[in-house]
Amino acid sequence: MHSMAHHGPSQAYDTIRQEPLQGVFPMKSYLSHLECTSCGQLFSHEQAIGTCSTCGKVLFARYDLASAKKHLDPHEFIKRRPNIWRFFELMPVINPLNVVSLGEGGTPLLKADNLGKSLALKNLYVKDEGLNPTGSFKSRGISAAVSKAKELNKQAITMPTAGNAGGALAAYAARAGIESHVFMPLDAPESNKRECEILGAQLTLVDGLISDAGRMSQEKARIENLYDISTLREPYRAEGKKTMALEIALDLGWKTPDVIIYPTGGGTGIVGMWKAFNELLELGWIDGTQPRFISIQAEGCQPLVKAFAEGASETTPYPNASTLASGLRVPSVFADYILLDIIQQTKGTAMAVSDSDMMTDMGILGSSEGIFACPEGAATLTGLKALIQQNFFSGDENIILMNTASGLKYLELFKNT
């Protein structure tokens, strides 16, 4: 590996309008290299590489944080437009003109006092990711991955998805002028299929699960030489999702919350947020420790919960995976070893909830706080209530429920009710 001089414009850019921003410090990414999370092998970020070529595991983007610490002022970020690219220095794109943005990120951290009172919690929040472009937090990761694909001169991208990531890829690829192929289970939400159609992706519906779609996408990538951006099988989607933690820390006045409750499929969000808090700790911009990460899964698909309960360091594919929360219908967890380690290290936990309870809690969250959550997001409330029963909390922690998408994308769930 060798490092090369960075050749980005030495100005701050409004990444949506692609025009210079005045009165803000120049934007320069501190991206330095890629590192394998398992064997530690290093790779150049100038090459398009998905997983470690030595051991096959997940790669992390690494930054020159020592130098960033010297040159950056965390209070500058608030001056930039509130989208994920305000954190450009900690993002993996070198040239701001390669950024493909629809205004993702900058979502509100809503204090949920009505709900908090009824649960005897003083500091309960909902990070409402339903306000993102394409209606889900998948836009963060896909904005980062498509931007990097553009920087690496990729012409065509392929990806398996449970639904929302496919809609996001269709949108960002369209904006970048890159061809996109999406492999999606037949029973994915109607909204996700329509998104692919209207936003110009080539959609293949698969009579099976996301793992079957993944095999088809990989095969397509191999035969047609497409860039495959499956969850955590490329290093940059996690970088987009890490901005959720950067925003939370910024909104709390550069502090970490005590608890993050996250509906987990492939786990990119937990991996990304934990990575972000580590970077912030290393930069010295936040005090304290990592929040406790609580992973919520559905009863019908709970590979992480099962492995965590057994004290295992990896998962096994969950048989007959089924839940109406499509984002949680992920039977094989590629980054399992990282996730289980995070949950353990941060003294979090993993818990499964039923589909009917999450649907009930969708109504409770909606009618008490005005947030129309997706079933995955509502599942975090179900999990929270179960953990309160187990005396998991003291009552004054900062607890954040992640609502990962808008309930408006799931209207067919209400057809028969």
Ligand X SMILES: *Cc1c(COP(=O)(O)O)cnc(C)c1O
Contact between 53 and Zn ion per CB under 5 A: no
- The secondary structure element, H or E, covering residue 167 is helix 164-176
What distances in angstroms separate CA 206 from CA 156, 161, 209, 264, 268, one per listed residue? 20, 10, 7, 22, 23
Under the criterion CB under 6 A, does residue 267 sit at the interface with ligand X?
yes
| Residue 416 to residue 357: CA distance in whole angstroms | 17
Nearer to Zn ion, 35 or 89 (CB): 35
Q: Please check whether residue 102 is in contact with residue 83, taking contact to mean a CB–CB distance below 8 angstroms.
A: no
Q: What is the 3-state secondary structure (H, E, C) of 239-290?
A: HHHCHHHHHHHHHCCCECCCEEEEECCCCHHHHHHHHHHHHHHHHCCCECCC
331 binds, among Zn ion, ligand X, none (CB under 5 to 8 A by kind): none
Provide the sign of the torsion angle of the four alpha carbons 215, 92, 57, 400, taken in this order: negative
| Contact positions with ligand X (CB under 6 A) in 152-181 | 162, 164
Backbone angles phi, psi at 55, to 5 degrees: -120, -5
Other CB atoms closer than 10 Å to residue 54's CB: what's the count? 12
Q: Which stretch binds ligand X (CB under 6 A): 75-83, 258-266, 277-285, 308-316?
A: 258-266
365 touches ligand X by CB under 6 A:
no
Contact between 327 and ligand X by CB under 6 A: the answer reads yes
- Does 58 bind Zn ion (CB under 5 A)? Our answer is no
Q: Of these, 27, 31, 34, 52, which contacts Zn ion (CB under 5 A)?
A: 52
Interface residue with Zn ion among 44, 54, 155, 345 (CB under 5 A) is 54
Interaction between residue 132 and ligand X (CB under 6 A):
no
Interstrand relation of 123-128 and 202-206 (parallel, antiparallel or unpaired): unpaired
Q: How many helices (H) does the chain have, and how many strands (E)?
A: 13, 15
Q: Is position 374 an interface residue for ligand X (rule: CB under 6 A)?
A: yes
Using the minimum distance from each CB to ligand X, give the nearer residue, 29 or 231.
Answer: 231
The span from the CA of 371 to the CA of 417, in Å, is 20
Closest approach, Cβ 195 to ligand X, in A, equals 12
Among positions 24-83, residues that touch ligand X (CB under 6 A) are none
* Two structure tokens written together for 143: 């904005």
**Of residues 13 and 334, the one with the C-beta less far from ligand X:** 334
The 10 Å CB-count burial string (b at 16+, else e) for 381-395 is bbbbeebeeeebbee
Contact 315, 337 (CB under 8 A): no
Residues binding ligand X: what is the number (CB under 6 A)? 17
**201 or 374: CB nearest ligand X:** 374
Question: Which of 29, 217, 218, 268 touches ligand X by CB under 6 A?
Answer: 268
Minimum Å distance from CB 271 to ligand X? 8
The site partner of 174 among ligand X, Zn ion, none (C-beta below 5 to 8 Å per kind) is none
If one asks whether residue 263 binds ligand X (CB under 6 A), the answer comes out as yes
Options 1, 42, 48, 55; binder of Zn ion; rule CB under 5 A: 55
Is 232 a binding residue for Zn ion by CB under 5 A? The answer is no
391-410 residues in contact with ligand X (CB under 6 A) are 404-405
39 near Zn ion, rule: CB under 5 A: yes
189 binds ligand X (CB under 6 A): no
Contact partners, residue 228, CB within 8 Å, separation at least 6: 50, 157, 158, 159, 217, 218, 221, 234
Asked if 192 touches ligand X (CB under 6 A), the answer is no
Q: Which does 138 bind (CB under 5 to 8 A by kind): Zn ion, ligand X, none?
A: ligand X
CA trace torsion 235, 236, 238, 240 (10° rounding): 170
The residue ranges that bind Zn ion (CB under 5 A) are: 36, 38-39, 41, 52, 54-55, 57
The residue ranges that bind ligand X (CB under 6 A) are: 136, 138, 162, 164, 231, 263-269, 327, 374, 376, 404-405
